[in-house]
A and B are shown apart, each in its own frame.
Chain A
Amino acid sequence: MVEDDAVVLARVLAGDEDAFAGLVKRYEPRLRLYVTHIVGVAEEARDLVQEAFVRVWRNLDQYDPRYRFSTWLFRIAHNLAIDHVRRRRQPIVSLDLGENDEGEAMRLDPADERLDPLGNFENRELARSLAREIKGLPPAYRELVILRHLVGLSYAEIAELKRLPLGTVKNKLFRAHSVLRLALASYLGAAGDRQDGVASGPE
């Protein structure tokens, strides 16, 4: 059973400092995926994520339990990544889930198979199409799809992190899903060809 973040934090603050490793284990790959989405370079993302954990560790006694730990952690990593991109004076690039020269779905970090979210798809054609369609989504939709489905944050966590109303997050994701449904209809073997639901999500 996965221990609740608040319980782990209480253990750490009570003196069991090794319990922090559980949080690193849980969040490092997801955080690295998110930071890679912002900075575009896997090696830089790895270092920034490590720095984010160090900052969290330094200020652990300042954590406000009214908010989710994941939101705090992702917010710190987000700020670090944005500062890093600004220092580099390069534009923020999006997560590349496209194809390489051999037509294979590209991994986020070739050195780490855990960071290949498409790796567990037996249907490689579907995996490639999914990667291509996610990459082709409007940026505002793409980031939410990454946060929801690749990073694995809940709607509420995304709303907190992005400082958006919960309803807005749900509506944007609904529309993104509708776009993906239309694009992937031929792979999913169902009628996704109706132009419904894309313009108007559930209220």
Chain B
Amino acid sequence: MIDSACQAVRRALEDGNSVDGGARLHLDGCPSCRAHAAVLATLDRLRIGEADSETVQRVMTALPPAPWRHRRPAAWLPVAAGLALFGAGLGLLGGVPAPGAVSELPGVFGGLTGWLASSLLDAVAAARGGAEAVQALLAVEGLSAVVWLLLAAAGGGFGVRALVRRRAEARR
């Protein structure tokens, strides 16, 4: 079995640390550790060189135009356009529907139950407000405004999908 001095010297050699005076003395008197050092030195000579210019040229020629130059704006543009159109649509309707008086009721329950009930009623109020807003939009602006909002939603959805796909590709 190797002793602790052998262990320490070989660990230093394996880690690529320079051997100090004590380790050098040990190496002088320990043929087995000298052989270990010789193996590492031999293996270190196995490194291969760099690619030649022909190989580099072949790879560089195979590269497509840098797709990431245009990808960032291309991915964010639909999201930004969707948000802008959505905001414009809401502005056209006169703002976000205010929570109805009914949503104030759950306060009497207090705590988590009250918060959950309040959230649920807010969602119902928002849905109802949204439906009324679409009806009003149809009455005032006609079908084109609804198409406009649908396009905004589709653009946003496309953008989100593109971002998710990019992230998945990068993981690969």
Contacts and interface: CB of A to CB of B under 8 A. Distances in A.
Interface of A: 13, 17-18, 20-21, 24-26, 28-30, 33, 49-50, 53-55, 57-63, 76, 79, 112, 114-118, 120-121, 126, 130, 145, 148-150, 152, 170, 173-174, 177-178, 180-181, 184-185, 188-192, 194, 196-197, 202
B-side binding surface: helix, strand, loop or mixed?
Answer: helix
Given A17-B66, A25-B50, A26-B50, 12 more contacts: A13-B68, A21-B56, A53-B59, A53-B62, A58-B64, A114-B49, A177-B14, A184-B42, A188-B38, A197-B2, A197-B10, A202-B7
A105 B153 CA distance: 65
A117 B47 contact: yes
13 contacts: A24-B56, A28-B51, A58-B68, A61-B68, A61-B71, A79-B172, A150-B47, A150-B48, A152-B48, A190-B35, A191-B34, A196-B32, A197-B32
Contacts of B7: 202
A76 B170 CA distance: 10
B24 interface: no
Given A20-B63, A126-B42, A174 B47 contact: no
B52 interface: yes
B22 interface: no
Nearest to B11: A202
Contacts of B50: 25-26, 28-29, 114
B98 interface: no
A174 B14 contact: yes
B51 A114 contact: yes
Nearest to B31: A191
Contacts of A24: 51, 55-56, 59-60
B35 A25 contact: no
A59 B169 contact: yes
A180 B49 contact: no
A145 to B, nearest CB: 7
Chain A to chain B: the 5 pairs with minimum beta-carbon distance, closest first: A62-B170, A191-B31, A190-B35, A61-B68, A192-B35
A64 to B, nearest CB: 8
Interface of B: 1-2, 6-7, 10-11, 14-15, 31-32, 34-36, 38-40, 42-52, 55-56, 58-60, 62-64, 66-68, 71-72, 166-167, 169-170, 172
Nearest to B12: A202
Contact of A117 (B2, B48, B62, B63): B48
What is the predominant secondary structure among interface residues of chain A facing chain B? helix
A87 to B, nearest CB: 16
Contacts of B169: 58-59, 62
A189 B31 CA distance: 9
A126 B38 CA distance: 12
B43 A62 contact: no
A149 B62 contact: no
A178 B36 contact: yes
A28 to B, nearest CB: 4
